[in-house]
Structure 1
Amino acid sequence: MIFKKRFLPIAMMAFHSLTVAAQKTVENYSWTNLPKAQQPAFKRDTVRITAYGAQPDGHTLNTDAIHKAIDAVNKQGGGVVMVPPGLWMTGPIVMKSNINLHLSENATLLFTPDKTQYALTEGFYEGKSAARNQSPISGINLENVAITGKGIVDGNGDVWRAVHKSQLTEGQWKEKVASGGVLKDDGKTWYPSEQFKKASTENKSMLLTPGKTPKDFADMKDFLRPNLVVFNNCKKVLLEGVTFQNSAAWCIHPLMCQDLTIRNVRVENPEYAHNGDGMDIESCKNFLIEGCTLDVGDDAICIKSGKDEEGRKRGMPTENGLIRNNIVYNGHGGFVVGSEMSGGARNIFVQNCTFMGTDKGLRFKSVRGRGGVVEKIYAKDIYMKDIAQEAVFFDLFYFVKFATDGARDMREEVNEGTPVFRDMHFENIVCNGASKAVFIRGLAEMPIKNIIMENMVITADTGMELTDGDNIQFKNVHLITPEKSQAVK
């Protein structure tokens, strides 16, 4: 049996083993044999960036001094590059293998607002090859690399991004307009430059289609906002203790990495930061994210694996991950899978996390054309408060209403572009305050299937809305809604 649509506007009602099409079961799993990530190790040899002339005055451009320190340590077989206390202005930093870039307490790497320092390069935008400005911190094909300490990495993101008047207070808006830049013709959006405005209003593409190189995008360079930290195809990566903030686009973006650890970091972006994701773990294998605090402008901890045909050809799922003991404040979602998940995601465990004031709690999203299989996702001991929208959310019609997806295939047939979400188990979920407890909307041709939710207490304005699902099981679920709640139409 497959349910097509079901509304459950439940007030003060406890469920015990309410099951839809329960002929199947989710595959057994264990919280005792969890995924592990190998840790990098470094020689104790330490070089301070001041040894190569770096100045902590917040004005001197220290790019060359930092790179000289990295090169010297790398040539000696690796070790620690120390950033002492101070305000260190710099251009983009390119990491090397066997380097631990260590930021002392009260050390801030502040990336220059001079955009000429950032070269146009081949990168990725939302899962597809695209022209981008060079990331403030990047590394490709590295092994044994880390950014550690108690310092701050600041991307100076406000000089890169547009902002709508409605997203700021009156005082902030006046300050933004006075800072320079240009306004949209209706006066309601601020752009960093005329070049940015033109690219945005004309909806120019940044994608690297056949025959195009990054140099072909020079006339829209200012529009190509960089992700703050990007490690591409690296092994044994560690980010620990550092605050990463104010990114122009995504903040932390490990791509096609293996053995990744993100521990005790803080990620901060303003609420108005467009694409201001906290962590986007894309096509990575064996990873640990623990003890982190995020307060961002978009999705917080997000699992991705490429977009549409390009992602399917890459064929690299994000897999074998443990996400535990994290706190998320502002963000579009606390733990998120998608929407660029065309390579798939599997064997991911989320435990003992708190979401405070996010738009959604557990968020899963995709759309026809993506393809990919998302399966074996397990979450337990998740605590939420003041969730603006849904506490648990599945939607396979994500972004369909927007013009950019207006031509997307809407046929109800199974093909390589059909996304599959299945085999998940959520338990011990508590939410005090949400607009809706649970929202599930699958596809007619591919229902969301084999989802177990048990031992849950959710206080919400409305209960559940379920469309196109198969074997969605609720066990010992207590939903608390207003006594006169109505079904969501």
Structure 2
Amino acid sequence: MQLKILTITSLSITVEINNDAPFYVPEPYLVYLNGVQVLENGKRNVFSLYELKPASIYELEVRTETETQKLEFQTLDLSYVLNVRNFKAYGDGVHDDTLAVQTAIMACPEHGIVYFPTGVYLVKSLFLKSDINIYLKKEATLLASAMRDDYAILPGTIRNKNDELILGTWEGNPLPIYTSLITGINVQNIMFFGEGTLDGNAQNGPWWINPKKKVLAYRPRGIFLNNCRNICFQGLTVQNTASWAIHPFYSENLEFYDLKIKNPAHVGNTDGLNPESCENVKIIGVHFSVGDDCIAIKSGKIYMAKNHRRPTKDLEIRNCLMEDGHG
């Protein structure tokens, strides 16, 4: 048994246990921080710890009946914390919190944290900003509006004299799509983490009825990243998305650690994580249970391949569980 740190924030750490078993360890373990037990009956090769103190040194110890391994780490320093409640977010699942949450994101200074305490935050599309952190506390949920009219449309392409800008993409072609619950376009250096949930709420909307049919535009994703880099998603649950749960497109240096991606097994085209024309992607310790492909590695269809010739390359995928879904 060997311990490897996957990522550290000011409030959390994700650790991978390297052994010969996929996803689940051969024997359960206990986890101690500075001599205090913080996790018992650990079963997965990848685990995360939260509510740590910023800029603090910890000794982490993993014990099984037959072996003990230790490592030392230091959490990152903490900059400003912007609590979305201070921006007039209600977190009651009834009021529309989009403006409050988006204001907190846009107001967040470099390396600051947008913080979601426990609650249900009803939102339309949210757009990411570079150089920030977003932390969803346990039992904090970003709940997508179920109304189609609440979503803007990203055009497939915008052209000038010499080139084209691809904004929306559907099934490998530049086509108009509705904006996603979380949308990132040309952003970088973002950590989105915590034990909270991103809930697409698709079961209460029109999205799963005739799912391949275009109604003004094609369905939104749970998370859509277009031309982004240095992005990490850690610990979150992503569920009930209108189509693919996570769709990185033309992006690089992406990390997806210790996530749970859940869509109903009977709903088609609800893929888990589909990197398209991306580079340097790590998918580690993710639990998939979806209605279509768990992971589909893409590089566009005929038009994209002919005109842009951008493959997906340099992927690491390990210690994942693919429950429902096509693998």
Q: Please state how far the C-alpha of 1:136 moved relative to its aligned partner.
A: 1.1
Q: Distance in 1 between matches of 2:207 and 2:125?
A: 18
In structure 2, the CA distance between the partners of 1:151 and 1:312, relative to structure 1 (3 Å rule), is same
1:239 corresponding residue in structure 2 = 233
Q: Please state how far the C-alpha of 1:43 moved relative to its aligned partner.
A: 5.5
Q: Please state how far the C-alpha of 1:92 moved relative to its aligned partner.
A: 0.7
State the AA in 1 paired with 2:117.
P
Give me the TM-score of the superposition, normalised by structure 2: 0.70
Q: Distance in 1 between matches of 2:154 and 2:229?
A: 22
Q: Distance in 2 between matches of 1:119 and 1:42?
A: 37
Equivalent position SS for 2:275 = strand
User: Please, which of 34, 37, 51 is the counterpart of residue 86 of structure 2?
Assistant: 51
Alignment of 1:320-339 (within 5 A): 320-332=314-326, 334=327
In structure 2, the CA distance between the partners of 1:258 and 1:43, relative to structure 1 (3 Å rule), is farther
Equivalent position SS for 2:269 = coil
Q: Distance in 2 between matches of 1:153 and 1:311?
A: 32
State the AA in 2 paired with 1:57.
D
Q: Does 1:137 align with 2:182?
A: yes
Equivalent position SS for 2:92 = coil
1:248 corresponding residue in structure 2 = 242
- C-alpha contact (below 8 Å) 2:173/2:303 kept by paired residues: no
Q: Larger relative contact order (C-alpha < 8 A, sep ≥ 6)?
A: 1
Q: Does 1:148 align with 2:181?
A: no
Equivalent position SS for 1:58 = strand
Q: Please state how far the C-alpha of 1:78 moved relative to its aligned partner.
A: 3.5
Q: Distance in 1 between matches of 2:78 and 2:313?
A: 30
1:381 corresponding residue in structure 2 = none
Q: Please state how far the C-alpha of 1:160 moved relative to its aligned partner.
A: 2.8
- C-alpha contact (below 8 Å) 2:202/2:208 kept by paired residues: no
Q: Distance in 1 between matches of 2:252 and 2:118?
A: 32
Give the root-mean-square deviation of aligned CA atoms.
1.8
Alignment of 1:10-409 (within 5 A): 44-73=79-108, 76-122=109-155, 123-158=168-203, 159-163=205-209, 200=213, 220-221=215-216, 224-332=218-326, 334=327
* Residue deviations 1:336-394 (CA, integer Å, cap 9, x gap): xxxxxxxxxxxxxxxxxxxxxxxxxxxxxxxxxxxxxxxxxxxxxxxxxxxxxxxxxxx
State the AA in 2 paired with 1:318.
T
Q: Please state how far the C-alpha of 1:237 moved relative to its aligned partner.
A: 0.7
Q: Distance in 1 between matches of 2:230 and 2:141?
A: 24
Show structure 2 runs of 5+ residues with no match: 1-75, 156-167
Equivalent position SS for 2:297 = strand
State the AA in 2 paired with 1:146.
M
Q: Distance in 2 between matches of 1:317 and 1:42?
A: 37
* Residue deviations 1:201-250 (CA, integer Å, cap 9, x gap): xxxxx5xxxxxxxxxxxxx33x6211110011111010110000001011
Q: Distance in 2 between matches of 1:321 and 1:103?
A: 27
Equivalent position SS for 1:274 = coil
Of structures 1 and 2, the larger Rg is shown by 1
State the AA in 2 paired with 1:61.
D
State the AA in 1 paired with 2:80.
D
Q: Distance in 2 between matches of 1:57 and 1:270?
A: 25
- C-alpha contact (below 8 Å) 1:42/1:98 kept by paired residues: no
Q: Please state how far the C-alpha of 1:321 moved relative to its aligned partner.
A: 1.1
Q: Which moved more, 1:103-112 or 1:308-317?
A: 308-317
Q: Please state how far the C-alpha of 1:67 moved relative to its aligned partner.
A: 0.8
Identity between Structure 1 and Structure 2 (%) = 34
Aligned length: 239
Q: Distance in 2 between matches of 1:262 and 1:277?
A: 15
* Residue deviations 1:106-146 (CA, integer Å, cap 9, x gap): 10110111222201222110110111111111011111012
Equivalent position SS for 2:296 = strand
Q: Distance in 1 between matches of 2:235 and 2:224?
A: 17
Q: Distance in 1 between matches of 2:275 and 2:263?
A: 17
Equivalent position SS for 1:281 = coil
Give me the TM-score of the superposition, normalised by structure 1: 0.47
- C-alpha contact (below 8 Å) 1:42/1:99 kept by paired residues: no
Equivalent position SS for 2:176 = strand
* Residue deviations 1:164-215 (CA, integer Å, cap 9, x gap): xxxxxxxxxxxxxxxxxxxxxxxxxxx6xxxx8xx94xxxxx5xxxxxxxxx
Q: Please state how far the C-alpha of 1:280 moved relative to its aligned partner.
A: 0.2
Q: Distance in 2 between matches of 1:231 and 1:289?
A: 15
State the AA in 2 paired with 1:141.
N
Q: Please state how far the C-alpha of 1:44 moved relative to its aligned partner.
A: 3.0
Q: Distance in 2 between matches of 1:96 and 1:162?
A: 30
Equivalent position SS for 2:315 = strand
- C-alpha contact (below 8 Å) 2:208/2:242 kept by paired residues: no
* Residue deviations 1:418-473 (CA, integer Å, cap 9, x gap): xxxxxxxxxxxxxxxxxxxxxxxxxxxxxxxxxxxxxxxxxxxxxxxxxxxxxxxx
State the AA in 2 paired with 1:126.
E
Q: Distance in 1 between matches of 2:125 and 2:250?
A: 21
Structure number with higher helix proportion: 1
Show structure 1 runs of 5+ residues with no match: 1-40, 164-190, 201-205, 207-219, 335-489
